[in-house]
Every structure is written in structure tokens, then in C-alpha cells.
Amino acid sequence: MQERVRLRAAPVVAGLVLLLIAAAVHLKITSRPIEEARKFRRWSRPRLPVHPPDPRLTPDHPQWREAMEAVEDLRVYFSDPARNERPAEYDRALSRLGRVDVGMLHALEMLALDENESPEVRGAIIEIISRHHEEAVRQFLAGLLADPREHEYVRSKTLDPLGAYEGEPTFRVFRELYDLEPDFPHRHRLLRNIAKTRSPNAVSVLLGALEDGNALEVRCAAAQSLEAYLDRPGVRERLFRIARGGDPVPLRRNAIAALASTPGGGVDELLRRLADSPEEPEEIRRTARSWLELRR
């Protein structure tokens, strides 16, 4: 009787085991697409301008013609291999484009989104759009930066203008990019702009960027950016540890500069010790002496 019960239970147990194995395999197979979907969730929305078109500004309007002629000047300039010898032409075209009315922002945004346009021309147009400091422009810049399909040059042109907007919405855009795209080539600039947002959460990102596994230019940017957060717990102590030694000289120099930007706090004693120590690299001694002179 017991033997028959065991025999009847065996297929059920075997079925459960097979289901568990199938579930584990399914999770392993599907985990990467899920991560990829999470990574690219930011740009699922359509690529559209944020400003509405101004019905007054048709292609026959003087403002429209002025803008399009300036864009054509930019196209001609960037198509010339010898353009670096004539920077005044670029300045004139950009100045001409900058004179157009705010009603042209819709048309300029359309051009900035046009992937058939050269990245350099799009970057110049983004520079003009970013001169209008308003929430709609922030959203437009954030959309371009967050889109990994975008050209690297175009994304790089949005970084600093977007960094002019303090607050959590901008911080979240920068943070997502920092976390989800470790190969983003402008991570050092990204960290500096994270610091500019003045978000309470910026400190943890900057402190994490100081760790050994990050590129040196990223670590240096983090140390420099922490200057604005010296009053936060743990920041001053971490920079002191770097400045005292054991880390690469460029990183130590940036930590010293961040600490020396404010008075007191044991900084003068640190600078004197570094300046007088024969065991320190000459570059560190020279940096310490320079800051001592500035702080007198």
C-alpha cells in the first residue's frame, strides 16, 4: 500500500521539479531583456518639441527667414574642413540665430531633433535654445540627454545647460544616466553637473565616485565637486584621507583644492605638513605651498 502511494506521488514530485527548473531557466533568459527595458525606459516617449508652434511665424515671416538663413550659414561653416581658421563666421551665424523671437523655439527644436542634420549644427541650435531659461527648455534638454540613441556630441551639448537647473527633477535625469550608462564618455562632466543640482542625494553619488574602481578623471571630478558639500557628514573626512596620501597625485590635488576653498577645519595644518614633507611628490608640495599663500 505504501509502495503504491510512493509510486503515485513520484510523477507529481517530478513535475514540480521540472516546473522549478523551467522557472529558473526562464528567469535567467529573460533577466537581460528586463534590464535592457529598464535601461531604455527613459526614451519610450516620442521625440517631439516641447514648445508649441507660433501660428504667426510661417516660412514667409522675416523671423523664419532670418533663422533659416542663419542655420544655412552654420551648415556651410561646419561642412568646411578649414572652419577652425575662421571662428568669426561661426560667431556671426550663432549671433544671427540668437536674435530670433522666442516663437521660433518650436522650429529650432524640430531642427535640433532632426537626425538628418549634422551633430555640430544641432549642437549650435541647442546652444541657442538653452539661452531661454525656462522649464520647457529644461524638459527638452533632459529628453535629449536621457536618450541613448542620440549622437554623443548632441548629448554632450545638453550637459552644462541642463546643469543650470537646480533641483530634484534635473538630479534624477543625471542620476539615471550615471547609473544606467557606465560607459557614457562624459561621466566627469556629468558628476560636476550632479553637484550643481544641489540635491541632498548628490553627496552619496559623489562619494561613491571617489572609489578605486572608477576612472581617474571621474574620481578627480568627484573630489572637486564635493567642495560645495564640505558641511555634509563624511565629506570633509573623506577628502582629508585622500589629501594625506595613498591616492594618485591628480586626485590628491583636487581634494586639497576642495578643502582649501574654505577656512579653518585643520586645513592649514595639513597644507603645512604637505608643503614641508620631503617624502611628498614635488607637485603635492607645490600645490600645498600655493594654497598656503592664497589663504594668508
pLDDT (tens, 9 = 90+) of the chain, 296 residues, equals 545 544 455 555 555 555 555 554 444 444 444 344 444 444 445 678 999 999 999 999 999 999 999 999 999 999 999 888 888 999 999 999 999 889 999 999 999 999 999 999 999 999 999 999 999 999 999 999 999 999 999 999 999 999 999 999 999 999 999 999 999 999 999 999 999 999 999 999 999 999 999 999 999 999 999 999 999 999 999 999 999 999 999 999 999 999 999 887 799 999 999 999 999 999 999 999 999 999 88
On whether residue 92 sits in a domain, the answer given is: yes
Is 276 part of a structural domain of the chain? no
Angle between helices 105-113 and 135-146 (to 10 degrees): 10
Using the structure block, give the residue that is written with the C-alpha cell 561613491: 208
In a domain, 68, yes or no: yes
C-alpha cell, 70: 542663419
DSSP state of 78: H
Give the predicted TM-score (pTM) of the model: 0.80
Q: Confirm whether 90 is domain-assigned.
A: yes
Flag whether 115 is in a domain.
Answer: yes
- Residue 287 corresponds to which cell in the numbers above? 600645490
Question: Is residue 154 in some structural domain?
Answer: yes
Q: Is residue 71 part of a domain?
A: yes
For residues 81 and 114, the answer to whether their CB atoms sit within 8 Å is no
Domain that includes residue 53, residue range: 46-161
Q: How many domains does the chain have?
A: 1
Distance (Å, whole) CA 145 – CA 193? 13
Distances (CA, A) of 102 to 60, 73, 109, 207: 17, 20, 11, 40
Please report whether residue 112 resides in a domain: yes
